[in-house]
Every structure is written in structure tokens, then in C-alpha cells.
Structure 1
Amino acid sequence: MELISLESDFPTFKALTFHKGFNILLAEQHEESGQDKTRNAVGKSTAIDLVSYLLGGNTPPKALRKEDALINAWYGLHYHHKGQKGVIRRCPAKKTKDILFSEDTVNLTSLNRHLQQMLFGLKDGPAYGPTYRACLSYFIRSYFDDYRYAQEDQRKKQGYQINLAFLFGFDWDLIRQHILNEKKKVGMKKLKSLLKSLSLRGYSGDKSALESRAIVLEAEIQDVENDLDNFKVIPEYRELENEAADISAKMRRLSSENSKDRDLLHYVENAMVSEEPPGVDRVNAVYEEAGLLLPGNIRMQLEQVKEFHQRISENRQHHLQRELDAIRNRIAERSDKQSHLQARYSELMRKLSEGGAFDEFRALQERLTEKQSELKDIQQQLENLVELKEQDKLYRKRKQELEDLIEQSVAEQKELKKEVILTFEKISNQLYESAGSLNIRAGEKGLDYEITIKGSGSGGVDKMQVFCFDLTLAIITAKAGRNPGFLIHDSRLFDESDERQVASALALAKEASEANGFQYIVAFNSDRLPQDVLQEYTNQLVSPVLDDTETGGLFGYQF
């Protein structure tokens, strides 16, 4: 595609006309302007953004969003393609609808589908294949972030490798497969998160420990299931249980009382045995041993005393006997009660042993559920461990296979690799005393492009890396028929380069674009170009030249 002109129906918009080959979009300092005036707001960068927008961009340039009149205006890009003229017209207010593409009205998706075929020969392909807008981004660079190392701003976007492989002519499908294989890490990461969550719940991540715990749980579950199968719910279980408890308490109380009465019985029995009448005969024996005779009246009195005590002893024996009988009766009555209570207690325990209460049954069910849930978690963790191990094995195997295939593919395309490297070396050699190098190698991330130029790390050198890379890409793609027909750079690319490098870069771009049949369009401020350079490229200036006067900008007024 050759860009012819950029236009708008906005009344004061300055339509820009492009040349074949080399173009400089110049922002000139007007003689009446003070030195403190800037020319960065005249619209040259906005013009580049407009070209990108008209070629299928989703968002209109920031400058257009400042005023409703600019949003509601129509903008058009005229072009030549394979001998045919065409135009793309868009109104930002219409967003992604009502886009005029030659004689058709299309939406943004349809426009990009047409343009990807026109500019790169791309068709709708598989997921993670090369995409139109990503490829186009290497040929229209406007924002500051674009002026880092060619793929640094997309290093986290694996798609850049696919797009560059496609543009250079390497086997991009191998890169795509490599990226798809890397996507498996997402699934593996989820599995690892699951394993981590289970580990936080107290489970070891060790496979053998999990298997041992699973075996124990299965046995415990079987026991609980058996208990549930044999469990008989007794509706009045709690009432029977309470009655049994009451009977048990009564029997303990009766047993305690019998124990006390047995002690008392033993005491009374001992008291009856030890009970003896007074010893009168012993008194007589003592007197006789002394050779004395006990007086008769004394003997009579002693006999009376003996009879008295005999009566007392007999009365006491009768009393103790009655007490013994009472104690024995109480013990017998209690024992009889205990027998009846024991019979009832045995009956109750038999009934209770045959089943249980509903809440016990429910507790067993809950216990079973808990153990089943725990077993399920462990089984899931075991499955995850096996799956993670298998996925990791397959991932590593496929990763190595693809790395080998990519390396083999690049080796088979050694002539292409050689051409890319030498083209880059030739360009950088004309900008630096020590030529830079472009290394293309198969790596862990697919196909890497590493640029080395002495002094890398300084702003100017890093941006010149981008220039060398872009120009290399433009030349290679032009030869292969995958160039959109242009390469567009904003002036920011040269902000930190000296005048000699700027002049050399422009000469290289002019030579490359004319030799390889593509347009090179670069935006510049007039004070960044030496007068001899301006004079040399007078015929290559985009018409009209913009300036920093009130009406000299792209939109014809300042805002």
C-alpha cells in the first residue's frame, strides 16, 4: 500500500500529500515565532496517529478528543494498492461503525480483516497466530514507549515472537505451539494453588502420607457405615435412659443404706454376746479363799442384786433382739427392692443396647459425612498430585521438543538468518564506529532477538537500536512481500541523537525505501535538521509544511 494523502472535512484541516519513497513531515519554526515557542503541538505526531487510526486503530488520536468538532469530523486516507486507488474514511463519533472503505461501508472488524489481507497477506488463523495490528505496530511507531528496544515493550506479551517470526519469515507456527505449551503453566499453577490450599488445612503434600491417611479414613468410614446400618432408633430412648439412671441412683442409695444397717447389725450382735450378769458367785469365792464367811444378810442382798441385774440383762437382750429383727427386716426389704429395681434396670439396659436416640444416629451421620469429605479432599489432592506430575512431565517434554524444533528450523533457514543479521550490521555500521549485532536464537521463550550496540543503555543509542531494527525489518519484509508498503517514525526516535547520526539515519532510510519500494515517512522539527539536510530533502517534504503559527498547524488553529 502506498499512502497518497491524509484529509478531513474539518474546515481548517491541512490535507497532507505524501511522496513515493522518502518523506519528511516537517514542523517549521516561523520567522515571527519566538524561540521559546514549541513545535511539538503543530500536529505532526497527530498526523501519524491518524494514519494508524484510519488503518484500523481502535482509539482515535488524543488530540481529536479535546473538542467535539474534531470528534464529529470525518478523516480520510487515500492510497494506492496494486494499481488501484482506494480511500478509508472514519468519523471518531461513529466509533467502530460506519467506516467507509472505498465504496463499501464496514465496521472495524471487517476493515481490519480486509487490511490484514491487503498489507500482510494474513487471513483469520488459529489462536495465538500473527495478528494484523500487532504486525502493523512495527511499521507505525509514534509514542515514546515505542522507542525502546524493538520488543522490550512487548516482552511480557509472548505474541511479539509470533509476529516477528511471521514478518521475518521464520516458522511462526512453532513459536505459536511453544506459546500454547507455555499456557499450560496456567493450569499447573491452578493445581498448585489447590494443593497449597489443602496443605493449609493440615494435609501433607507427600503422596505416601496422603495414601496412608486415605487408607485409615476408608476403614473408619466402613466402621461408621456399619454402625449406621445396625443402628436402631428408639423413639423413647431418652426416657428409658433417664429411667435407668434414676433406678441406678436408687439402687446405689439402697445399697448404701444396707451397708450402714449391716454395720449396725454386726454391732448389736456383738453387744448381745458380750452382755453378762453381775458376778455374785465370784464374790463368795473370794471370801472363801480368804477363810472368811460372808454374812447371811449380805448374801441375801447380793442375791437380790443378782436377780435385779438378771432382769435388766434379760430386758436388754429382748431390746437388742427387737433391734436386730428390725435391722434384718430393713435389709431384707431393701434387698427385695433392689431385686425388683435390678430386674427393671436389666430390662432397660437390654432395650437401650438394642438401639439409640435419634440425635446419636444423626451424630453418626455427621461423623460419616466429615470423614467422607476429608477422604474426598485427600483423594482430590492425590489426583492433583498425579495430574500435576503428568502435566509437568508432558510440558517439559514438549518444551524441549519445541525448542529443538525451533532451533532446527532456524538452522535450516540459515540464509534468511544470515540476511537479517548482515542487514542489521550494515545499517548499524553506518551509524556507529563499532557496528552493532543482532543475535537470533532459539531460547526458552521461543525465538529471541538480541541487539548489542556499544553504548547501549543511553537513550540515544537505545532509540537507534529501534531504528536499525525497524529498517532491517522493513527491508527484509519488502523483499519477501510482507511489507505493508511503508515505515513511519515520529521525531521522538531521534530526540537524543546528534546531527551526524540523524543525517546518516535519514540517508539510510532514503536509500532503503527507494531501493526496496516502500515509503519512509518521518516527522521532524525544523531546528533538529541542519540546513544542508533540509535543502537536500526539499523535494521529499510532505506538503504542506506545518508550522507553529496560530493557523499553521495540522488543524489550522491551536487548541
Structure 2
Amino acid sequence: MLRQLSADDARFRTVDFKPGVNLLVADTTETSTDEDSRNSTGKSSLIELLHFLLGARADVKSLPTRKALRRTAFTLELDWSQTPDGRLAVTRSGARPEVVRLNHDIDPDHDVLFDMDGPVDVPNPRWQQLIDRELFGLRADHQGLTGRAMLSFLIRRVASHSFNQATRTHNQQSEADAAANLAYLLGLDWKLAAGYREIAAREATRRQLRQAVSDPVWGRIVGNTADLRGQITLAEDELRRISQQITEFRVVPQYEELQRRADEIDHRIRSLNSQDAIDLRNLGDLKAAVEETTDTAVRYLEPVYRELDILLGEQVRRRFDDVRGFHESVVRNRRRYLADEIRSTEAALVERKAERGRLGVELQTVLRILAEGGALDALTALQQALAHKQAAVQALRHRYDAAQTLESSALEIKAKKVELQRSLAADLGERRMQTEEATLLFSEYAQRLYGHGRSAYLAIEAGPSSLKITPRIDSDDSRGIGNMVIFCFDLTLAVLAHRHGRGPDFLVHDSHLFDGVDDRQLFAALTLASEVSAREGLQYIASLNSDDLAKIERRGYDASEVVLTPRLTDAYEAGGLFGFRF
């Protein structure tokens, strides 16, 4: 049970709770004007502070983190079986919302050298886990269930619009998530109910992927199975080709030296061909020169001179013979020289031809070796290309699997839904005792408010998208009756959870729950809360405006023992919960 709510600000009006019904009443004062309002007295702020001290996540919009309250440390004292005195004081401030101070070390996982009884600071997530364990009996195997989600049913918040419908505590809460936590409180198979949450997550992922496929950029990343199948075929063929090259590859020792030798041979053969061309041209010139070199006759000179009546003497004729002999000697020497040059050129041509033959054979051998293998660097490059291609093929296969999963996921999700719905329906049939207990309690509470002639029950069924829990009261769908549906449903949850050790022993309602409720139903509701609290060992806390309290008191409701001190007022400064306006 909750025992006390206080703060280290002296202006704060400490609230002491007791077993049974506790009514936090907001009064109007004799000096109140039409501009005063009980909506700012702190009734809903009480709810916010309870959530804050029971581990709610705090952000810049949270009440305790506002500038006027940030430095205030609030404390909630509540029953806790693990402490020596059975009580635990929880302190938290908006200045350090990530830390919760406990007046006892209640963490069973703490390994300490000496037992020390005193305040201890714990991170808020750890405090939430302790709440899960102590207040709701949740352990590590209760994946997906949280005490915070269940507390939102037992302490509904106006700021979260939790009074809009009975089976959800805020507008953004998924039906499957709410149903899983409700199933636990009611004693149903929460694991089957939570299965819908996994399916809902898969559906959400599928919708996002389908949108991505339609996007021109993301579509190239996700793709479709037809395109990817063709790309994989081509990529695998290229992968096989590279693998075959590597399999047949032979590393040639001294590959670079052989490559240089091949280049040298090729260069030498080209040089020999060039020299042959020059020598062949020179050989032709030499042969032509030989043909042009002839003996020079001087005998024709004597007849010529005789024709001219010039007689040559013996001395002159001897001179001509000397000249002729010299000329013949020159011609013989030239012919001998040209013959030697021709023989030398022809020999060089023959020698170069032989050298070309030897070089050609060597070049063929070197080129064959190079063609049959390669250098180690070439093999490494092939292996790197193979690795890149393998990675590319693997990526394509992953994309193909994802695309295939996406395209077939709709049928799989539908099949899982049908299977889960069938399993849950069978389980509900086996848990008839739990469903009947919940339905009879809800019906009893509703008929206490509206009479035995009113049909009221809980409809619990396995729906296609979640476990469907629908509280029904035969009515005209007015707002007041809708709020009383929530009252009866919450009271049913609190009783069953506490009765079977799955929840705490308190239930808290904001005054907004009673907006539009007829005074007869309000009287019946608070009377019922008193009886159920006494019978089940529960604590029921509610805030109420004084005029609503006056209406039910005129009907005979005795509020003398249940109204909390202090009573809040709409006095501008000191009348509210915090003792000042902000």
C-alpha cells in the first residue's frame, strides 16, 4: 500500500494514505471567484507524482522537471516486504530524474562486503526492474511485460488520455502490447497474447520495406526477386570463370626475368632485320659497281693520231703502255675490293639469318612459358578479384533472400496470425476458470452500479490482430457510463492481480473519471470501492471535487473516515497541493 507523499519543500502539503478508501477532496472557498478553479489544485498532479516516484520516464514536459519544481525532492513511502520494517521510502527530483534514492538497499543482486542499512542511489531503470519483481512478480522470463505498463492501468493519467478507453492507457499504445499486459493481470496466457506484438512488428517492418521498394533510390538496394535472380546468374558465371583461371594458373619462377628476356630477343630480332635491310641494299650497290668496273683500252689513240697525220714516236707509245698497265692494276684492285665486300656482306647476312633462327626458337620457348603461367602478383590480383566477386554474389543473395522474404511475408504473417488465433482460442477454452472469474467480477461490479437488470460482462476472445478484451455494460453510450465501465474494469484488474499475486494492493483514480457520472452511480461506485477494499485488502485512492462529494453525502455516503487531510482548495496561493502556484 501507499503510505505517504511528501517533499522537502515546506510549502508542499504532505498527503498520508491509509488502508481502504482515500479521497483527496478539492474544495471551493468562501472567497472563491469565477476565475478560481479546482483544476489547478493538484488532484492530477498527485497522479503525476506517484508515477514519477514509481519509475516513470521523465522528460522536459514532466511535472517534476518544470523550473518551479526542479529542485524539489519528492518522497513516496510505501509498503515493501523486503525491508526490515516493511516500509520503503523512494525519493526523486526533477534535477536528477535518472537517479532514485531508496532508504534501504533492496536490490537482491547487490554483492556487498558488509550489510549496510541506509540510503542507496539506484538508476531509474533498475528501480523499474525492482518494481517489476516486487509489485508484479515479473522475472527475466517475462519478456515484453513491464510493471510500468501495468501501473498505467492501476494509476491512469489524464495527460496520457488513459480515460478514452478501458483497455488502453494512451493513444499510441498498440492493442497487442496492452493486451499482453492485461492478459498477465487477468491470469491468461500472456505469451500467446504477446505473440501478436511480434507479428505486428513484422507487419510494420514489411510495410516499411514495401515503401522502400517503391522509392527510386531504396528500390535499387532492396530490389525484387526477378531482377536479382538474373543478376545472381551473371555474377555466379563470372565467379566460376575467375575460379577456373585461378585453378589453371601456374606461377612461373623468375617471371619478370623471362619477360625482360623476351623483350630483349624481340628487340635483337628487329635490329637484325634492320641491319639485313641495310646490307641487302649495299650488296646490290656493290654488285652494280662490279659490273661498271671495266678495262680501259688506249690503243685507239694511235689510229686517231695517224688520221691527224701525227706520228707518235716510240717514247710516246711506251708512255701509253705504262698508263694502260697502271689503269689495269687499279681496275684489278677495285674488283678485288668489291668482291671482298660482297663476300663479307653475304657472310654477315648468313650469320644474322642463323642468329635470327636461334633467337626465334628461344623466343618461342619463353613465350610458351609465359603463356602457360604468370607471376605471383598476377595470381594475387586474380584471388583479390575472386574475393570481391564472391562478396558481391553473397550480397546479391542476401538481397534476394530479403526480397523473397518480403514478397512471401504477407502469406507467412497471415498464416502465423491464423495459427496464433487458433492457439489462443484453444487456450481460452482451457482457462475457462480465469475468464469466468474475471467476467463474473466485472458483472457483479457493474450491476452494483446499475442494477441487476443491466447486462454487463467481459468479452474475451482471440482476435485476428490481438487478444480482444472488451468490457461491456448495456447502456446508451453516454460519457458517464463509459467512465464507469473503466471503473469496473480497473477494479476487476486490481482485485484479480492482487488476489493471485500478480499485482500490488492499490488502485488510484483521478477525478476526471467521475466527470459526467450521475450521483447515484458515484455513490454506488465509492460504496463498492469501500466494500471491495475491505474484503480484498486493497487500497483505493481517488480525487474528488467537493460538490460531487456533497451529492453522494446527501445520499448517505459517510466520508468522515475516508477524506484525506489536507483538503485542497482553489485558494490562489496556499490552497493547492504544492502550496504555491506556478
Higher mean C-alpha displacement, 513-522 vs 549-558: 513-522
Q: Does 1:532 align with 2:555?
A: no
SS at match of 2:578: coil
Higher mean C-alpha displacement, 436-445 vs 26-35: 436-445
What is the match of residue 190 of structure 2? 172
Q: Does 1:473 align with 2:493?
A: yes
**Aligned partners of 2:12, 2:103: CA distance in 1, in Å?**
20
Question: Match for 1:91: what amino acid?
Answer: T
What is the match of residue 50 of structure 2? 51
User: 1:509 pairs with 521, 525, 550, which one?
Assistant: 525
Shift of 1:409: 0.9
Shift of 1:164: 1.1
Unaligned runs of 5+ in 1: 269-322
Which deviations, in whole Å up to 9, do the C-alpha atoms of 1:523-542 show, x marking residues without a partner?
24446x38524655543432
Residues 425 and 258 of structure 1, relative CA distance in 2, 3 Å threshold:
farther
* Residue pair 1:39, 1:548 contacting (<8 A) in 2 also: yes
Higher mean C-alpha displacement, 146-155 vs 24-33: 146-155
Residues 76 and 525 of structure 1, relative CA distance in 2, 3 Å threshold:
same
**Aligned partners of 2:248, 2:434: CA distance in 1, in Å?**
75
Question: Match for 2:267: what amino acid?
Answer: D
Which residues in structure 2 correspond to 1:135-174 (within 5 Å)?
135-145=150-160, 146-149=162-165, 150-151=167-168, 153=171, 155-156=173-174, 159-174=177-192
SS at match of 1:220: helix
SS at match of 1:141: coil
What is the match of residue 520 of structure 1? 540
Question: Match for 1:240: what amino acid?
Answer: R
What is the match of residue 316 of structure 1? none
Q: Does 1:246 align with 2:246?
A: no
SS at match of 2:393: helix
Shift of 1:395: 8.8
Which deviations, in whole Å up to 9, do the C-alpha atoms of 1:238-263 show, x marking residues without a partner?
5334434535655776798899999x
What is the match of residue 37 of structure 1? 36
User: 2:431 pairs with 413, 420, 425, which one?
Assistant: 413
* Residue pair 1:79, 1:85 contacting (<8 A) in 2 also: no
User: 2:255 pairs with 195, 210, 234, which one?
Assistant: 234
Question: Match for 1:486: what amino acid?
Answer: F
Which deviations, in whole Å up to 9, do the C-alpha atoms of 1:447-491 show, x marking residues without a partner?
233567899999888766644542442354455454522221223
Q: Does 1:551 align with 2:574?
A: yes
What is the match of residue 307 of structure 2? none
Residues 49 and 235 of structure 1, relative CA distance in 2, 3 Å threshold:
same
Which deviations, in whole Å up to 9, do the C-alpha atoms of 1:409-443 show, x marking residues without a partner?
11122343345456556767868999787542224
Shift of 1:168: 0.6
Higher mean C-alpha displacement, 532-541 vs 196-205: 196-205
SS at match of 1:236: helix
**Aligned partners of 1:180, 1:525: CA distance in 2, in Å?**
43
Which deviations, in whole Å up to 9, do the C-alpha atoms of 1:294-350 show, x marking residues without a partner?
xxxxxxxxxxxxxxxxxxxxxxxxxxxxx9x99999899667645534542442342
Shift of 1:139: 0.5
Which residues in structure 2 correspond to 1:83-232 (within 5 Å)?
86-93=86-93, 95-100=99-104, 105=119, 107-108=121-122, 116=132, 119-120=135-136, 122-128=137-143, 130-145=145-160, 146-149=162-165, 150-151=167-168, 153=171, 155-156=173-174, 159-175=177-193, 205-206=228-229, 210=232, 214=236, 217-227=239-249, 229-232=250-253
Q: Does 1:16 align with 2:38?
A: no
Question: Match for 1:542: what amino acid?
Answer: L
Residues 354 and 454 of structure 1, relative CA distance in 2, 3 Å threshold:
farther
RMSD: 5.6
SS at match of 2:101: coil
Shift of 1:519: 3.3
Question: Match for 2:155: what amino acid?
Answer: I
Residues 556 and 375 of structure 1, relative CA distance in 2, 3 Å threshold:
closer
* Residue pair 1:233, 1:358 contacting (<8 A) in 2 also: no
**Aligned partners of 1:458, 1:342: CA distance in 2, in Å?**
113
What is the match of residue 393 of structure 2? 378
* Residue pair 1:119, 1:483 contacting (<8 A) in 2 also: yes
Residues 418 and 32 of structure 1, relative CA distance in 2, 3 Å threshold:
same
Question: Match for 2:551: what amino acid?
Answer: D
TM-score, length-scaled by structure 1 = 0.66
Question: Match for 1:43: what amino acid?
Answer: G
Matched residue pairs, number?
493
- Structure with the bigger RCO (C-alpha within 8 Å, sep 6+) is 1
Question: Match for 2:427: what amino acid?
Answer: S
* Residue pair 2:417, 2:465 contacting (<8 A) in 1 also: no
Shift of 1:222: 2.7
SS at match of 1:77: strand
**Aligned partners of 2:474, 2:262: CA distance in 1, in Å?**
94
User: 1:489 pairs with 476, 495, 509, which one?
Assistant: 509
Residues 91 and 480 of structure 1, relative CA distance in 2, 3 Å threshold:
closer
Shift of 1:147: 3.0
**Aligned partners of 2:481, 2:354: CA distance in 1, in Å?**
110
What is the match of residue 442 of structure 1? 462
What is the match of residue 310 of structure 1? none
Which deviations, in whole Å up to 9, do the C-alpha atoms of 1:46-67 show, x marking residues without a partner?
2223333444556599444446
Shift of 1:408: 0.9
User: 1:368 pairs with 358, 383, 400, which one?
Assistant: 383
**Aligned partners of 1:331, 1:532: CA distance in 2, in Å?**
141
SS at match of 2:370: coil
What is the match of residue 75 of structure 2? 75
**Aligned partners of 1:191, 1:346: CA distance in 2, in Å?**
66
Q: Does 1:541 align with 2:563?
A: yes
**Aligned partners of 1:201, 1:240: CA distance in 2, in Å?**
54
**Aligned partners of 1:104, 1:133: CA distance in 2, in Å?**
26
* Residue pair 2:29, 2:569 contacting (<8 A) in 1 also: yes
Which deviations, in whole Å up to 9, do the C-alpha atoms of 1:205-253 show, x marking residues without a partner?
43x97478546623531322322x2434423345334434535655776
